[in-house]
Amino acid sequence: ANFSAGAAGGVVQPVRTVLPVPRHGGYLGVMPAYSAADDALTTKLVTFYEHLKDSSVPSHQATVLLFDPTNGTLKAVLDGSVITAKRTAAVSAIATKLLMPAFAEVLCILGAGVQAYSHYDIFTELFTFKEVRIWNRTKEKALKFASSVSGPVRVCSSAQEAVTGADVIVTVTMATTPILFGDWVKPGAHINAVGASRPDWRELDDELMKNSVLFVDSRDAALTESGDVILSGAEIFAELGEVLKGTKPALPEKTTVFKSLGMAVEDTVAAKFVYDAWSAGN
């Protein structure tokens, strides 16, 4: 519901502030939001690092601070990593439900990190795909993914092999140059582009960006943060909230891209939900 609320203006959230940590190739993002509908006030702090030497440390780490909106008191500090993984995948699932082709049989995931797992879980729960494929830059991680998830997954040796003929594609990589090319994509497919959250990073090439209908979570964020949108010059057709409200059509028969950058209000709603459930149990 926060998308339609966001589109309706019941939410206060600036585009996130991102502070570079140049010496270590990292970034610190600050994401405050207030939702009037939920009467919830939070800030998420998220760090993300491009090329980690130690692969046991996740590329993204996050903490959510939940405040009492009536007086500004800090009520809770929540681990933001699970919230980020689950809310991002949930939003991709909403976009996919609206935008995927009518007879979607093949799901392809590019990347095998935290977001690959959360997307796999919700996508296999909500949709019935006959085949799930995965590709990752280092094949070991893709093999590990395939052996840890609940259903059968085909590990592909190239991104092109994974993508060819796929109906729904999820890109969840730390790529800084395109790994998905319009040439490979089946007409009418739906792509959830989740990585590449900096203005000079890409996951999708110009051809794909320009020859598909582009949906975003936030126009402001996409035009500030998304290299795929900024560098391709692709025109944004709609925000997801506009489709949910019915002011813009979904166009599932077209090739569609949902560029997800993540909105602070998603963390706000999720954190309040977790906190309320915890409070009720105590």
| Residue-wise pLDDT tens digits, 144-161 | 999 999 999 999 999 999
Q: Give the span between the Cα atoms of 50 and 71, in whole angstroms.
A: 38
Asked if the domains 7-82+266-281 and 84-263 are classified in one and the same CATH topology, the answer is: no
Can you read off the two tokens belonging to residue 108? Answer: 């392809």
Q: Where are the domains of the chain?
A: 7-82+266-281, 84-263
Indicate whether this model's pTM tops 0.85. Answer: yes
Q: Which CATH superfamily is domain 7-82+266-281 in?
A: ornithine cyclodeaminase, domain 1 (3.30.1780.10)
- 84-263 classified as CATH 3.20.20.100: no
Whether 2 has a pLDDT exceeding 70, the answer reads no
Query: Residue 1: what pLDDT?
Result: 44
Q: Summarize pLDDT for 66-99 with one digit per residue, the tens.
A: 999 999 999 999 999 999 999 999 999 999 999 9
